[in-house]
Amino acid sequence: MTNSRVWLITGASRGIGRAVAERALSHGDRVLIIARGDAVHDLASSLGDNCLAAQADVSDANAMRAVAEKALSKWGQIDVLVNNAGLHRGGRVGKLKEENWQAVLDTNLTGALNGIRAVEPHMNEGASIINIGAVVGFRGFAGDAAYAASKAGLSGLTRALAIEFAPRGICVNLVIPGLVLTEMTEALSDTALESMRKIIPLGRYGGADEIAQIIHSVSESRYMTGAFIPVDGGLMSSFGVPV
């Protein structure tokens, strides 16, 4: 158990977050999964003794500090933070409701900062912070101003904190999934999904387990920080987006 790491994963009740939790547990690590819904407790129970649940909203800084304390009181350390919680509310800018704009920023950008502020004082050399970005943060899509702005902001936050935390040996990186079929994409029509699939060079959607594999690999790196890692079937390359 001495080499077992402690993970905190937000948005972990489903999709990519859940897949990351399952992979970390399969490697003998301990995981605290965080989500807003109470189903997170049942999920933690099903994942075994090395999994703990916390019901919290990442946009609440006090709640995230309490989550960090819960992990520390249980396991005495925090080694990996995955900022995966995400909220998507679209709409062309003229019709985008102010409350929707704010809600997306509060979850996707401020929520990540809240998580980082909660755990960073308790991290030691070799710890890893992994933010989950999006292709739309680098390549614009009409009607996606709020989500794009939040994810672009997250990329800037990643590089700034990579420099800030480097003297302490804490790595901060951004993993950028492509189109993955999760609960978040269920709102898209079959026509929209098929149109997006056609512009992916590999010609298919990604799997949550494929994203989790890369996130786990990034968490183990000790000489990669401030990096942007696309896992998108070549989508960003096809747009000529620099990373």
- The residues annotated as belonging to the active site are 147
The C-alpha angle with vertex 85 and arms to 79 and 91, in degrees rounded to 5, equals: 155
Distances (CA, A) of 208 to 126, 160, 183, 205: 25, 28, 11, 10
The Cβ of residue 222 has, within 10 Å, a number of other Cβ atoms equal to 10
> 144: which 2 tokens?
């996606």
- List the end-to-end C-alpha distance of the chain, in Å, as a whole number: 37
DSSP state of 206: B
Task: Report helix, strand or coil for 72.
Answer: helix
Structure tokens at 191: 């026509």
C-beta of residue 10 within 8 angstroms of C-beta of residue 34: yes
